[in-house]
A and B are shown apart, each in its own frame.
Chain A
């Protein structure tokens, strides 16, 4: 598997991964604002947000129809739809694409639910790897507290209630999140995650995120007024 950059695409993809409550959504939002203020071509995409697929997913969740296999496949369908319709075309047009969760969310969740790792990875093999993956590594207690303090109503699948760990949603959520964290940690080396200490304050994290992005991506290449220049460059490289 290669990154978009390694595959010669003009655009770049930055993904954030981590547990619920790890602070990744806050951080990618601040990153997006920073890139937009610099008048760069930026697009943001969120896990599980393809219009058509979403209605099936929410019905499945509401009616408790999902098994580990169909949970995995319906999220893969959603991802494929966003990938083929938004992510890839925008990357080809030279955008910086920001993803709140990418294939690693599936790798972690589906494997915890009992799907075979190679099966899940095979399914997502059509997708290129992000150019940067930020992994917001937070102590389990910290992320649990953030979620449990703010949102006492845990959803069935979010809490991993389908796994039968416990009849108590909070207990089940804690066990499930703990297992997810283990999966993320296992993947960190293999996929070159940039680890961000999610226990730090928002500003310190953001400063680090911006520094890494500026180091790894030549941001001037992604200015909104650079369209023509970029298309020419793409041609000359071919």
Chain B
């Protein structure tokens, strides 16, 4: 990615922004024995489908954040020591019910939340989360799980300082997935839902359904939507501008009421 160095040179400021500690809170009942006010770091979430450019953007952001003086931790879904092995097995076999899968993912999320996100926030790090509870909720909602049940379940989550949703059209996602792996993923195509035996059809319809759920979740949780159909550079410039505002503790348009 040759543009990176040139871009970064232009944006590295002489002074390091020192973020003021903010009071975090939980969405619901939260975690036992954790005072959310002790979480003095910054939690930034990047959401979006596979192929929306999340990981590319996150690696650029880590590079940039460290260059401007912020200790950064990355966290993603399904990487925990506790359950990732069994989760992979469960996915391969496709034998678990929606409720079971949902709780399995929630366990994985809780493990990362308590063992990675919370300690990093306590230490004042910038945490970049590659997906958060919203993807898990959107997937479950598409599969007919009860919204109130999900909101209670994920009431353990810390409210992030910013959530960016990389919105990419399903057609564009198909192209990017093919360019990357020449195949579509079974789960990202929603094949378990039986929408269509045709994977291409299923992918387009499923991603449309997920987008619709994200639209609903956006109204509840107030994400910042980023046009992910734009170029990597344009998306990254926009993210950096917005994250800089977050670090200066300026409110993004979505956080008027906080």
- Stretch among B24-32, B192-200, B219-227 lining the A interface: B24-32
**In the complex with contacts A52-B96, A60-B82, A68-B32, A122-B107 CB distance below 8 A:** no
Shortest Cβ distance from A3 into chain B, in angstroms?
19
Least CB distance, B241 to chain A, in whole angstroms: 35
Tell whether, in the assembled complex, residue A123 and residue B83 are in contact, meaning their CB atoms are under 8 Å apart: no
The prevalent SS among residues of B at the interface is helix
CB distance from B36 to the nearest CB of A (A): 14
Distance in angstroms between the alpha carbons of A67 and B81 in the assembled complex: 13
Does B103 sit within 8 A of A, measured CB to CB?
yes
CB-CB under 8 A from A53, the residues of chain B are 86, 100, 104
A38 on the B face (CB < 8 A): no
Binary per-residue interface labels of chain A (199-225) against chain B in the complex, 1 for a CB within 8 Å, 0 otherwise: 000000000000000000000000000
Q: How far is it, in angstroms, between the C-alpha of A60 and the C-alpha of B29 when the chains are bound?
A: 23
A81 within 8 A of B: yes
| A65 sits at the interface (CB 8 A) | yes
The answer to whether the Cβ of A113 comes within 8 Å of any Cβ in the partner chain is: yes
Query: With A53-B104, A77-B103, A119-B29 as given contacts, are A69 and B82 in contact (CB-CB < 8 Å)?
Result: no
Chain B interface residue count, CB cutoff 8 Å, equals 32
Secondary structure call for the A interface: helix
Q: What number of residue pairs across chains A and B have CB atoms under 8 A from each other? A: 93
Interface residues on A, range: 20 to 34
* Across-interface contacts of B30 in A (CB, < 8 A): 116
18 contacts between A and B (CB under 8 A): A52-B95, A65-B81, A65-B111, A67-B114, A69-B114, A70-B110, A74-B82, A76-B103, A77-B107, A80-B100, A80-B103, A85-B97, A119-B28, A119-B155, A122-B149, A122-B152, A123-B153, A125-B149
Output the nearest chain B residue to A118 by Cβ-Cβ distance: B29
Which residues in chain B, 204-254, are within 8 Å of chain A measured between CB atoms? none
